[in-house]
Amino acid sequence: MKNLLIISLLLIITLFSVKAQKAGNEKLFKDKYIKKTMTRALDWQLKNPKHELYDWTNGAFYAGVFAAWETTGSKKIWNAMYEMGEKNQWKPGPRLHHADDHVICQTYIDMYRVSDERKMIEPFVKTMDEFMATPYETGQIRPITWWWCDALFMAPPALVKLGITLKENKYLELNDKLFKECYNLLYDKDFSLYARDMNYKWNEPGITPIKEANGEKIFWSRGNGWVMGGLVRVLKELPQDYPARDFYLQNFKEMASKIASLQQADGLWRSSLLDPASYPGGEASGSGFYCYALAWGINNGILDKTTYLPVVKKAWVGLNGLIQPDGHVGWCQPIGADPRKNFNAESWEVYGTGAFLLAGSEVIKLKN
C-alpha cells in the first residue's frame, strides 16, 4: 500500500512537471516573447562588438539585425544599421573575389530598398563590375571562385539581391555560374550535405581522406548551416519563373530532409553532423541557421508542415536554452573550418547572434 502511494505521488509530480514544461515552452512561441528575446540578444551584441564591421562575421550578424528590424520595426535597430553602414562607407571588404567580403552588402541592399539612398549600393556595384572584369587566381584546393561551402551564404544573396533590385540579369547569371561550380565541387549527393572544402572530400586525388572518430565523413554543422541560410536568402529573391530557381529549390529540399533527420534530442545539432556523440552540446550557429531555414520553408509552403513543424519547434526551444542570463547567445563554436569541441555556455560570436535573430524572424511567422 505504501509503495502504491509513493508511485502515485511520483506520477502526479511527473504529470505536473510535464504540464509546467509544456506551458513554459508554449511561452517561447508568443510574439511578445520572441521580440523581447531577439531584442535582448541584439542589444547585448551591439554593446559587445567584435571584428571589423565589414568582416564576414558582422555580415552574418547584420543580416540578422535587419531581420530583427523587420520583425520589431525598432528605430533603434535601424539607427544601429545605419551607423554601421556609415562607418564602413557602405563598402564591401577589401578582397575583390572573396565571398566573405561581400556578405555585408546584403544589409546595404536591404536598407537601400527601404530608404532609396544610392550611396548604400554604389560601392558594391563598382566592386562587382571590377569582379567580373578581373580573372580569379585559382589554387590547389581553390579550383573555383567559391571553393568553400561557407561562401554560399556570403556572396550569392548579395549578388541576387543586387540583380533583382537593379533589374540586371548579369548578376543573377554570375551567381548561377559560381553557385553551381561550388555545388558540383562540394555537394555530396549520397549524404545531401556539403563538404566544407576539398580537404574534406574522399576519393580526391592528392588528398588524404579524413574521418570522424566513428569512421564517418566530416560534415560540419555551421558549414551546412551557411548553405541552408544562403539557399533561403537566394530563393526569397528569385521570381517563381526564374529558369534556375528549381535548382536551388531542389538543393534546399534535399538538404532540409537530411538536416531534419540529424536533429538531436535537445532540438539542436552537434558541430559534426554524422558523429554527434563525439562532440559537446548543441552548437548555436549551425542550429540557428537550420531553425531559420526550416521555418522559412514551412512559412512559404515549400516544406511539409506536419513533418517539419515539430523539428522547428524543438529547435527553437533548444536555441532559447542557449541564451545566457546576460542575454548573449552561448554555445557558439569559434571561427574555424571544421567541427571542434572548443566551446561552452560562455562562447559567443556575432554570427551566432545573427543566426539566432534570423531564426526568430521566421519562427514568429509560424502558424500553429
Q: What are phi and psi of 141, to 5 degrees?
A: -100, 10
Burial 315-328 (b: 16+ CB within 10 A, else e): bbbbbbebbeeebb
185: left (phi over 0), alpha (psi -120 to 50) or beta: alpha
Which three three-digit cell numbers place residue 329?
A: 547567445
Query: What distance in Å separates the CA atoms of residue 226 and residue 196, rounded to the nearest whole number?
Result: 10
Selected catalytic residue, list 55, 100, 150, 176: 150
229 residue type, one letter: G
Q: What are phi and psi of 136, to 5 degrees?
A: -90, 135
Q: Is 150 a catalytic residue?
A: yes
Yes or no: say if 296 and 358 are a contact pair by the CB < 8 Å rule.
no
Give me the helices (H) in the chain, please: 2-27, 31-47, 56-72, 75-88, 104-115, 122-133, 151-154, 156-166, 169-186, 221-235, 245-261, 284-299, 305-320, 350-363
Yes or no: say if 256 and 228 are a contact pair by the CB < 8 Å rule.
yes
313 residue type, one letter: K
Q: Report the SS3 class of residue 272.
A: strand
Yes or no: say if 187 and 251 are a contact pair by the CB < 8 Å rule.
yes
Q: What are phi and psi of 38, to 5 degrees?
A: -60, -45
Q: Report the SS3 class of residue 101.
A: helix
Query: What distance in Å separates the CA atoms of residue 157 and residue 355, rounded to the nearest whole number?
Result: 15
110 residue type, one letter: D
Query: What distance in Å separates the CA atoms of residue 61 and residue 55, rounded to the nearest whole number?
Result: 10
Yes or no: say if 13 and 350 are a contact pair by the CB < 8 Å rule.
no
Question: Which residues does the annotation mark as catalytic?
Answer: 150
